[in-house]
Amino acid sequence: ESSGYCDFGKIRDFINDAGSALSDCLYKNAGFTVSAIEQACEALVCPDGCNFCSLQFYGSAQMGVALPIISDVDAAVMLKSPMSVKNSECGFAMGSLGFNFERVPFLMAISNFIRKGNPKSKTRLREAGPTGSRVSILTVKISPKSPSFDVVVCVCDADDNPLDNESRMILESVNDTDYILKCVECVACSAGIDPSVMCDAYKGALRIIKYWAFQRDVYGSTFGFLGGGGWSIFLARVLCDFFRSDANDSFNSEIPATFLSQKF
């Protein structure tokens, strides 16, 4: 303002609310696609002896910061075997657990099921990731207004141990989002701030950063820039380092600092 006075309350409110209505709109439009994928999974997995547990969002969708046009919805089909594996090393045959499972045919079956019920929907099956860490992804877009879904499959035993390397990587991605928010909450508690207030401010700031980067064509790992996951870790790391400064000697940053250092 011309007087030099800055209303930090208004700035705080802007950060907390920025983009939230757009995110809410995206999730509302995503509901029909979620139902279609869940119906497909429930119809397909029963004959193979494993149970469909849930369709689990991860990444920006799980965090609540997905934005129309900018964000796809990352979702993992969580399948669980009725049996446990005492030796949880990855790489053994899933057939030893009483069911035969092949990821690509399963994703193709989901695609066929969805397209049969929604003839105008678009689907595409692809692989992504570096050599040795490839992940099969089914992209689903049911209608022009609905967000695009990137669907992967995670198969665990009865004790939630991943049954192959691809499931392990997917489970880590799902858990990483929870870890990031826990880091933000840990920062807030150590700084004497209400964790819910800090998380809301963090999410609002992250939406602003995502929109800023997208508008300037510097968003997305495909193009060599930080994507949604990279920006979320970067912002959490900035918060951690700020409250770990000399002015905050009482801040116990061991948990968030260790996790964020590994990721960024």
Q: Residue 155: which H helix or E strand, with range?
A: strand 149-156
Residue whose C-alpha is closest to residue 25's, from 74, 66, 72: 66
Domain ranges, ordered by start, for the chain: 17-164, 176-263
Higher pLDDT among residues 10 and 239, named by residue: 239
| The overall pTM is greater than 0.85 | no
**pLDDT, tens digit (0-9, with 9 covering 90-100), for 182-195:** 989 988 888 888 99
pLDDT of residue 55: 94
Least confident of 16-30, 93-107, 155-169: 93-107
Is the pLDDT reported for residue 5 higher than 60?
Answer: no
> Strand (E) positions, 160-263?
none
Is the pLDDT reported for residue 243 higher than 90?
Answer: no
Of the pLDDT bands very low, low, confident and very high (cuts 50, 70, 90), residue 228 is confident
The domain 17-164 is placed in CATH, from the list 1.10.10.10, 3.40.50.620, 1.20.210.10, 3.30.460.10, at 3.30.460.10
**pLDDT, tens digit (0-9, with 9 covering 90-100), for 74-116:** 999 999 877 776 544 444 445 444 456 788 999 999 999 999 9
Of the pLDDT bands very low, low, confident and very high (cuts 50, 70, 90), residue 137 is very high
Largest separation between any pair of C-alpha atoms in the chain: 74
Please give the Cα distance from 5 to 54 (Å, whole number): 50
Mean pLDDT of 176-180: 89
For the CA atoms of 27, 32, 33, 37, what is the dihedral angle to 10 degrees? 130
Task: Provide the mean pLDDT of the chain.
Answer: 80
pLDDT of residue 112: 96
Q: CB-based contacts of 177: which residues, under 8 Å, 6+ apart?
A: 58, 59, 62, 63, 232
CB atoms near residue 232 (< 10 Å): 27
